[in-house]
Structure formats: C-alpha cells, structure tokens
Structure 1
Amino acid sequence: MRNNQKRIILFLTILLTACILSGCWDTNESERMVYVQGIGVDYNGLRYTIYIQIVNTSLTAKSEVRGDITSTKVVVGHASGKTLNEAAFNLYASIQRRLFWGHLSFIVFSEQALKKGDIRATIDRFDRYRETRYSLNLYATKEPLSEVLKSVPPLSLAPSLSKLGDPRATYEQRSFIRPLDMREFLIAINEPPHEAIIPYIRLAKNTWETETTKTNPLIEFAGVAALTKNGLKLMAPFKNIKGLRWMNKDFKREELSLTNELSHVSLIVWKLKPKKKTIVKNGQIQFQLSLDVTASLSEIVKPEQLTKIEKESEKLIKAQILATYLEGLKHHVDIFRLSEEAYRKNVKAWKEIEQNGKVPLTKESLQKITVTVKVKQGEKQKLRPTI
C-alpha cells in the first residue's frame, strides 16, 4: 500500500514537472511572422501617416537554401490616424501576420513631421515598446516616404544592408554625414545646447544603371537636419555645411579638392584631431577651434610645391568651417555644439550667461580658427605626378 502511494506521488511529481517545463505553447514560428525593417512618419496638418517597410527575410539566406522563392525585396504599407499609435493599429487591420518590431533599424521623418514636432511622439512611442532598441538610426527627408522606403540595394543585396539600415558601411569610406541613432539623439537633446543633428537624405534617381535599364532610385546622404525636442530648426544641403565634417571626432575618411590654380590637386584626409577651447573674458564666452589634419595626395596633374598644397588646404578647410558656423547662426543653431564645450569646461561661466541651456552665439563668439595640414604620403606613388 505504502509502495503504491509512493508511486502515485512520484508519478504526479513527474507529471507536474513536465507541465512546468513545456514552455513553448505561445512560441511564434519565425517563418510565420512579418519583420519590420524601417518606418516613415509623415503629417499633413490633420493626421499622422505611418509607413512600414516589411523585408523579405529569405534574401538574407544563401540562394541555394532559400530556393529563390520570390524576388520581392520589400513591401511598404501605410495607414493614417489622429495619433501615431492609432495609425499603427489601423495598419494592423490589414496585415496578414503578426508584425515583429525587434529588427526595426531606422526611422525616416518627413519635413512636415519634423516641423510639427512629431519626433517627440515617435521617440516616445517606440522607446516604450519592449521589442525596439535604442540603436535605431534617425533620418530626415523631403522625398515621398513611400518612395524612400521602396528604395533597396542593387545586386540582390539584403534590404538590411541598405544605406538606411547599415549607414556605417559607407561612412567608413566617406565620412560625409555622421549617422545618429536614438540613444545618441536622446543624449544630445538633453545636454547643452539641447540640439541634435541627423542626416538629411534624398533619392539619387539617375546615378546607377544596369546593362538593360536604369536601377531604382537609391538613397544618398544630402545634408543635415538640426532638431530640438520641439521640432526642426535647420535643414541644410551639404554645400552649406561642408565644415561640419572637419569637426567630427568620429571622422574616418574624406576627400578634399582644392580650388583656383590648384584645382587639379585632390587630397584624401584620413586623420583629424579637432579641438575646442573656451575663453572667458569680461563676462563673455568666446571659442577657439583648432584642427590637425593628416592627408594623402590622391591626385596631382602637374608638379606643385608640397608647402603650397598644405597652405591652400588649410585656407580651404578654415573657410568651410567658418561658413558652416555662420550657416548655423542664421538659423540659431549651435552647429559645433560650442555650448556643450563651455558647459563641460567652465560650468560657472556657462550658468551666468546661458539661455535655455545655450550660450548666446554671435559671429564674434568664434574668436579664432587654426588649421594645420600635413600631407604625409602619395598613396602608392611619390608626392609628385605619376606621368
């Protein structure tokens, strides 16, 4: 009798343990879910419109494994609502499977959405959702969002390898505009000068072709958008903010073409050491910028003195930095984040004159710009024309 009781107790224990361990009842099969790669946010004055880019995950596998089931790379859906959340739920009404947001890698804002200040609502919406991450890249555009999200990489590359999804790949080769993710954005707007700069993108429509036809428009970085938590302050093309790249501590590589009589000379800049100095005088804060540049000679058609090339490069970089600073002043943007430098180095002086976290900047606030260029090599050849 006692043995039977023991057996019953042991059986019930094993049965209960099996019930506890069977934790896969609510599992979603990966092939039965739809994966969101990117979203776009627009505003037309009355309603929000959210665009969702859904990726074909079979393209991320090898062709012999996926069997080329479909050649469709992305599908873009959209819906509108009084709020972003309502727009998203209106889109759920027509989706065929559960949307998975864990692979979301970028958000594109239209110019109208940024002017409305919708970046606050968007960040709050996706910051609260458990599947999304702080590594989302942020972009601004004037292009139709449906066209932007339908732009995919050529040569059957996976959509996750697009310029929007993986901007660091091309940034290593050309440090034109520094990508900014959501974590960095939140840090920037919560510290002086309470502004953040994100890439402004557009569609390059006639740049690439195949042997039979032109390819679809591809994404290119065209400039920057300067934002506060309340909205857009500046959207500038690259030609107006060329000096921004030279004050970037994360700089990797960039090209510099000289002008005037040295227009046949081109340099590759591959190392920068930017420095900002705060000077407090008579209750005013001024700044000095210094820059050490290391470059290689990339192109030269006729012989030129190396010292002349270096001096002309210094003048050109200095002029670009000053022009970029003045462009920021026109729109009340501290484009080089000089207010943060004052806050870090002399918080007492910063507290005395700051206005909403920013140091009031004028043309005279930038006291001096010093640029030193050193051309160290000529790539595979010497520092003279090949022919």
Structure 2
Amino acid sequence: MMTGRGVNELKQIRKLSIGILLLVSLTGCWDEKEIGEHNYATAIGIDYKEEKYLLYVQMLDFSNVAKQEGQKQSEEAPLYIGKSSGATLQEAVNDLYKTSQQPFNWGQIGSIIYSEAVLKNGIEKVQQAIQRNGEFRYTPWMFGTRESIDELFGLTGFFHLPPLYTIMYQPEDIHGKYSYIKPLRMHKFISIYKDPGGTAILPSISIDKSAWKKAGPEEKAKKTLKINGGFQINEGKYKDWMSYEELTGLRWVESKTENTTVKLVDEGNIIGNVEISSPSAKIKQVGEGDNAQFNIIIKATGILADLKEELPIETIEKLVTKQIEEDVKTTYQKGMEKQIDIYNLKHRLFLNGMKPEELKEYTLSEDSLNLISVDFLLESKGIYH
C-alpha cells in the first residue's frame, strides 16, 4: 500500500502535469502549441571523462503523464535522453542546445545524479553552475552513482509507467516503508556539504537486474533502480563510497527513520526479525577541545515480525539492543577505516562553538565514540504472544 506521502507526491505530479496542460486553454498570448514549445527536462546526470563534463538530460512528455491517471498503459511512455559534453558544465549545456530543437524548461528537474568520476574531480564548480541557473529549484533529489547514467535514465517504472514513478523521483515512499539510507534534497545537501566538519551522504543509486522479471510468453528481466550505498562528501570534497551493509548503523542515528527491521541473531544464527518504527537518537558531547568525546543515546520500540523459536520478551529485547549497538559501532569503525566522519561528530563540535581552525586540529578516533546506549522496548510479540 502506498504511504500518505506517496499519495501526496503523486497528486503533486498530476497537478503539475495538469497545470501545464491548462496553459493551452488560456486565450491571448497562449495557444494550443504552447505545451509543445518547450522541452521539459526532468532529471540531469553529470559525468566526467577525459577532462570533459558529460551532461545527460532526461526528458518526459508531461501531457502523457497527465493522461495516465485512471488508464492502463499498453506501451512505454515516451522518454528521451540527451547527451552533450564540454570543458565546463555551461559549455555542455550550450552544446545540447544546438540539437534541442526547442527551448529547454529547467524548472521541473526532480533528480540530479553525479557520477563517482565527477565527485572525485570536485563538484564545487558543477554545483555552483547549477545554483546560478535561475530556473533551477532547490528541491531535486540528489544521488551519486557508479553506473552508466545513460542506462539509469533509460529505466522506467512498472506497467509502462514513466520514470516519475521510480525511486529516482519518489525515494521517500520506499524510505517510509524500509528506512535505511535517508533521501537527500539539494537544499539539504547545500546546507551541510561545505560546512566545517560537515559530511553529506549522497545516496548511491544503482541498477538491479535480477529481482524482477516480466512474466508471460516473452519473459524477460525487468531492470529496476536500487539504493546500494552512499557517497561521503566532507567539507566539499569527496571522501569515499560506503556500501549498504557498511551503513547499517546510520539508520539508528539520523533523523526521519520511519520503519526498519532488526535481525534477531543468537549464536550466529538468524532466528527472527523485529520491526521498529520511528527510533530516536541523541548525540551528546562529553568533554571539550581535544578531549571531546561523544555519547550516542538511542530509544526505540518495536514488534515481533517473525520468530523460529519461542523466546522470552526479555531475551528478544536483549538481542535487539545488542544488534543495534553493534550496527552503530560497526558503521562508525568502517567510517574510521576510510577517514569518514559518518555521524557528523565534528560538525556537531562546530555547531557547539568550536572554531573552524580548532576543528582542523581535532582528530576523530575510535575512542571519540565514548558510549552507545540503547533503550529498546518490545511492544508486542504479535501472533507469537
């Protein structure tokens, strides 16, 4: 079932599409050709190769999107992908204009994807070029990728629906059901990626080729989009990539985790799962200056999803508590191995008054994480009660 947020976002997409269509009904300077007089870019992807920026633009037909409500689609929605290159991003944009046939409207961008090559080369010039474009809004979802952007932009939703109905445009729907790596909008990215001590985590979007297939006489694999990790940007510079598994502790520390699952592990064996909703976390600074350390305090409640063998409630609570503590600690250690401040602890020092020059002298270590405290309550054993 779609979440309330998902329903609202679908309504927004439909309102946007219908709003554009209404322009054709206006009299005066608007006429029936108006909706066709612009190319509506809905996503951009930027790669870097051989000292040139490669710009990819995904373009959808909004009139087609508006017609889809309440109708079954017998064929794929029209989808176009543009590609150009240039020594700068603006030069790549100008190169694309040469073949665009009609002016671009950049005001409907819903997603921005950076390749790992762009991140390694440095994104500041690219980010500034995007922000200087007056048509761009600050609300697109942002991703990094190790995949071909061309291939990513060619993927559509199920049942011939356009890419607007995928996690590239609606990541919060899936995050609301299965919270792991928080979706990131551009305004949030801008607010932290250059801050002293700040680390922004770009969700890593990838292609899954095995989970789904189209059944029937002409059976074939259905490629879908998947979040498989995150790219860490610290003080404006790319640090490294961390896998989905390495980031397992992040969900317990960051805000907006709605629903997530903990495996019950006893003596190395998975014996069940517990579903947890809306955990909360506080990070408290202990000590000052070079002696600063941090305590992470987590509170959570949950219900039993499945269980292979009968266990007392107290035992289940201990297993969940232990697993959450291990998740948080392991992710922190993996970050330290790659010199990544995954929980933004140095940024917290900055927000607590440490000056940027002092912050540069402060070195995080495994000992900087002083305490991980988890208070977990099992609210219900469900049918196992």
**Alignment TM-score, normalising by the size of structure 2:** 0.86
- One of 278, 287, 298 as aligned partner of 1:291: 298
Within-5 A mapping of 1:176-255: 176-212=180-216, 213-228=219-234, 230-255=236-261
Work out whether residues 354 and 360 of structure 1, in 8 Å CA contact, stay in contact via their aligned partners in 2: no
Is 2:383 aligned against 1:377?
A: no
Q: Which residue of 2 aligns with 1:148?
A: 152
Q: CA deviation at 1:215?
A: 4.3
Go from structure 1 to structure 2 and tell me whether the alpha carbon gap of 1:324 and 1:63 turns closer, same or farther (over 3 Å shift): closer
TM superposition outliers: structure 1 runs of 4+ over 4 Å = 25-28, 63-70
8 Å CA contact retained: 2:350, 2:359? no
Q: Give the distance between the partners of 1:28 and 1:238, measured in 2 at CA.
A: 47
Closer/same/farther in 2, CA of residues 41 and 306 from structure 1, 3 Å limit: same
Name the SS of the counterpart of 2:334 in structure 1: helix
Which structure has greater strand proportion?
2
Structure with larger Rg: 1
Change (3 A) 1:128 1:265: same
In the other structure, the counterpart of 1:363 is 366
Residue number in structure 2 paired with 1:17: none
SS in 2 for 1:24: coil
Partner SS state of residue 43, structure 1 = strand
Equivalent pair of 1:192/1:340 in contact (CA under 8 Å):
yes
Q: Residues of 1 paired with 2:86 and 2:323: CA distance? A: 49
The answer to whether the 8 Å contact 1:265/1:300 transfers is: yes
8 Å contact kept, 1:137–1:181: yes
Instruction: Give % identity.
Output: 26
Tell me the residue number matched to 1:16: none
Q: Following TM superposition, by how much is the alpha carbon of 1:301 offset from its aligned partner in structure 2, in angstroms?
A: 2.4
Contact map agreement 1:243 1:323 (CA 8 A) in 2? yes
Structure 1 counterpart of 2:199, which letter?
E
**2:146 counterpart of 1:139:** no
Q: In the alignment, does 2:107 pair up with 1:102?
A: yes
Q: Which moved more, 1:55-64 or 1:213-222?
A: 55-64
Deviation at 1:35, TM superposition (A): 1.1
1:314 aligned partner: 321
Secondary structure (helix, strand or coil) at the match of 2:188 reads: helix
Structure 1 residue 45 corresponds to structure 2 residue 43: no
Distance in 1 (CA, whole Å) between partners of 2:102 and 2:167 is 27
Partners of 1:352 and 1:40 lie apart in 2 by 33
CA distance in 2, matches of 1:190, 1:145: 25
For structure 1, the 5+ residue unaligned runs are 1-21
Give the SS at the match of 1:217: strand
User: Would you say the 8 A contact 1:153–1:159 is kept in 2?
Assistant: yes
Residue of structure 1 equivalent to 2:336: 329
Q: How many pairs align?
A: 356
Partners of 2:116 and 2:144 within 8 A in 1: yes
How large is the Cα RMSD of the aligned pairs?
Answer: 2.5
The 5 Å alignment of 1:47-62 reads 47-62=52-67
Separation in structure 1 between the aligned mates of residue 72 and residue 302 of structure 2, nearest angstrom: 47
Is contact 1:73–1:159 with CA below 8 Å preserved after alignment? Answer: no
2:36 corresponds to which of 31, 40, 56: 31
Single out whichever of 144-153 and 186-195 deviates more from structure 2. 186-195
- Uncovered stretches (5+) of structure 2, i.e. residues with no partner: 1-26
* 1:209 Cα deviation from its structure 2 partner: 1.1
> 2 CA distance for matches of 1:125 and 1:241?
31
- What amino acid is aligned across from residue 277 of structure 1 in structure 2? K
Q: Of the candidates 341, 354, 357, which is equivalent to residue 348 of structure 2?
A: 341
Contact 1:51 1:79 in 2 (8 A): yes
How far residue 23 of structure 1 moved from its aligned partner, in angstroms, is 7.5
Match of 1:11 in 2: none
2:175 aligned partner: 171
Letter in 2 for 1:177: I
